[in-house]
Structure 1
């Protein structure tokens, strides 16, 4: 029986895809992003082992409501593609129910997503953490190339994508790198928009509870002017940015 390690689930509006979403948070992530707001999802061992049937029973409770609200089911984490078989089965079952599905991923493990999984994915929320190779590795501890490869594959398959870009002053605000990313996105053809998200410290309490240091504790949040500049750079390349 197909099981997965699940951290939690919640209902959300506006941040995990269109409409009201049933957001399923899976445990385990290969990245260690310096601004991660959910360090409690890093390890699969910390999740609860659940069957697909158990998850679908929870989704079924909210099915009518989320469908009426123009929403659906989002699998996030952690990193859903660390558990690709479980993610694929939940999405397949959701599509059978006529529910919109969204995959929230860094794309680092994009090669684990089968074409069948992506065929059952209505929308990919793709986090591109940085566009400069050195900055990406410094920020995440991993390489950028797998994410860009996955983005190109999604373009070829015609899977709708929304890009998420977290703006961290001094780390992801380089003008040349953002122009490069904007040009890359403009060339894909399947990107609906870019959500430029301001770095925040809302997860700091989780680090304290886990007794681990929050690496960006002294990093400021971006100013409104910086947010406007970066959104403007994307728009200058013909990319919708919010």
Structure 2
């Protein structure tokens, strides 16, 4: 008699774990209902102990679904919604609650990342409201494309917006992601008007994003917002290449090397020259 395989655990040792088809058995009507109400979300995993996804030590929930196809994406398995584990809102809240006391004690917090969390905006805002009620700092890592889906009051449940800025130039943004950035820039302007704290992230990819003029334009724009507390230069790496291979996706950066220390230092210098605290 065949036994069913054990369910995939919600917690993972790393977001670089390959996870696919975990929600494919759910009827389409249930998927549509989940997206509309936020009663359920689709998560790659939760990971603990992160020191790179917001201030302090963080618990991170990684959502699935993303509209971008970034050439340097290290988690292409999160592009597809139903690759994720279907998790009820109550399950997600209780997962955070397990760590709430510790996160408050060490002045860490909870970060919702992806994928693109705002493709599951109703789930995201309801989860953030619950976590904020626990007295835990909340942050979102987002590309900002669907920022208009959140009301001003809903934005208040997010203590920090970490915006992954791919490019300022429209053509360069399309080159990197396959899509335009008009809505992203508008979202940044809105966050500035509302005086919502932001961090900016910029992935440094030799031959793709290491363009001095582009970096200077991103840095100037970020500084002009008046709410960007920090800019992070993220060096390109190849940790996710195996996922592209296993998913049968064409990976154009297979021969691209990580940036050198000198290239990273120059990018940091450009962002600091605009007046941003950068590292």
Instruction: Name the TM-score class by shorter chain.
Output: over 0.9
Is 1:92 paired with 2:129? yes
Give CA-to-partner distance per residue, 1:19-61, whole Å, 9 cap, x none: 1211011110000100001111111111122111111111111
Is 1:101 paired with 2:138? yes
Quick one: distance in 1 between partners of 2:200 and 2:218? Answer: 11
Quick one: distance in 2 between partners of 1:203 and 1:57? Answer: 30
2:247 corresponds, among 203, 206, 210, to 210
Is 1:238 paired with 2:238? no
Quick one: distance in 1 between partners of 2:234 and 2:98? Answer: 31
Aligned length: 242
- Which consecutive unaligned segments of at least 5 residues does structure 1 have? none
- Taking structure 1 as reference, are residues 49 and 105 closer, same or farther at Cα in structure 2, changes over 3 Å only? same
Is 1:192 paired with 2:242? no
Aligned to 1:172: 209
Aligned to 1:61: 98
Aligned to 2:165: 128
Aligned to 1:140: 177
Please tell me whether the aligned partners of residues 50 and 60 of structure 2 are also in contact (alpha carbons under 8 angstroms): no
Query: Rg bigger for which structure?
Result: 2
Aligned to 1:159: 196
Please tell me whether the aligned partners of residues 165 and 202 of structure 2 are also in contact (alpha carbons under 8 angstroms): yes
Quick one: distance in 2 between partners of 1:178 and 1:210? Answer: 31
Corresponding residue SS for 1:73: strand
Please tell me whether the aligned partners of residues 237 and 258 of structure 2 are also in contact (alpha carbons under 8 angstroms): yes
Corresponding residue SS for 1:187: helix
- CA-atom RMSD in angstroms: 1.2
* CA drift at 1:12: 3.1
Corresponding residue SS for 1:10: strand
Further displaced range: 60-69 or 119-128: 60-69
Give CA-to-partner distance per residue, 1:104-163, whole Å, 9 cap, x none: 000111111221221000001100012222111011011121111111111111111010
Corresponding residue SS for 2:225: coil
TM-score, with length taken from structure 2: 0.84
Aligned to 1:4: 41
Is 1:223 paired with 2:223? no
Quick one: distance in 1 between partners of 2:246 and 2:207? Answer: 27
Corresponding residue SS for 2:144: coil
* CA drift at 1:208: 2.3
TM-score, with length taken from structure 1: 0.96
* CA drift at 1:214: 2.4
Corresponding residue SS for 1:83: helix
Quick one: distance in 2 between partners of 1:14 and 1:61? Answer: 19
